[in-house]
Chains A and B, each alone.
Chain A
């Protein structure tokens, strides 16, 4: 693929104007800038979601890149069934699942976690991040995925159902159980009620 020039300011402004469907349609017809616009729109969310699942910056970026490559390669076969972002998230969640053993085997230093009453400093925020990672790692995989898609990515139950290929009632159950378990594990990890 030939290297393309960076997007101009006007093109970057247009990222917010075009729908995913329009960009996907352009990308399918070989418009390289449409790929860049989709990347600009979803790269942060893709890395964030993968990070929530794997708790490793390096792995999260690898997974997000691999997901984009798979999606873009499959664009010619894309028939517009389902939303672009639910398709992307589905691939991310599946790729993370294949790496989850590696991720769960990683040691997370939770023994030394001490949260202040009002975690405001950068150090305390970092400690809080470690605590969040520790708790998320302990959650069952599907509950973790449902909670991240709901709380961090702000997806509706219908979209989460599409990503995880389950019915909405099951999403509701997973999110609810994930919250209950998160609350309990948070108390265990930090000795602080939420």
Chain B
């Protein structure tokens, strides 16, 4: 028996597990190997040393924190839970469809791009301040030339 095998067998014997070798072979090895015999004498103390070392006691709030943590779920987890019910999935799909269709009918059909509105305000402010913007913004119809519907009148 090799020392490596003997060490594994000593350890397994201590734990009451299958040593994997004939016990007599182990005893014969221990009788002639000082190093392994010292090992066999010492390993029994390891558990004693480990168990005697101070172990922390869980805090009084341990259970409470676990149960609180259990109830604290991320918004994504909650959303997934909410969508577990098929009726809710159908309701959300119908709601979104209704919203899209409503938007298609309700949004006004304006021909004036939003940027022109800003430009008109800028022009008006420049005119009040006496600044000429024609070099920067060359030809554009004045706000007075536009109809209420946003289309341009021919003057």
Quick check: B8 and A129 within 8 Å, CB to CB?
A: no
A118-B50 Cα distance, complex, nearest whole Å? 15
Overall SS of chain A's interface: helix
Q: Cβ of A128 < 8 Å from any Cβ of B?
A: yes
A128–B52 contact, CB under 8 A? yes
Please tell me if the beta carbons of A183 and B42 are within 8 angstroms of each other in the complex: yes
Q: B55 near A48 (CB under 8 angstroms)?
A: yes
Knowing that A61-B58, A72-B70, A182-B46 touch, tell me 5 more A-B residue pairs with CB under 8 angstroms.
A69-B66, A147-B46, A175-B15, A176-B8, A179-B46
Any B CB within 8 A of the CB of A28 = no
Decide yes or no: A132 and B53 within 8 Å by CB, A39-B63, A157-B17 being known contacts: yes
In-complex Cβ contact of A172 among B8, B65, B70 (8 A): B8
Q: How many of A's residues come within 8 Å of B, CB to CB?
A: 48
Give the interface SS of chain B, mostly helix, strand, loop or mixed: helix
Stretch at the interface among A96-104, A106-114, A148-156: A148-156
Q: Which of A47, A72, A148, A176 contacts B11 (CB 8 A)?
A: A176
Rounded to whole Å, the gap between the CB of A187 and the closest CB of chain B is 10
Cα of A175 to Cα of B13 in the assembled complex, Å: 12
50-71 of chain B: CB within 8 A of chain A: 50-59, 62-63, 65-71
A61–B56 touching, CB < 8 Å: yes
A180 to B66, CA, bound (A): 38
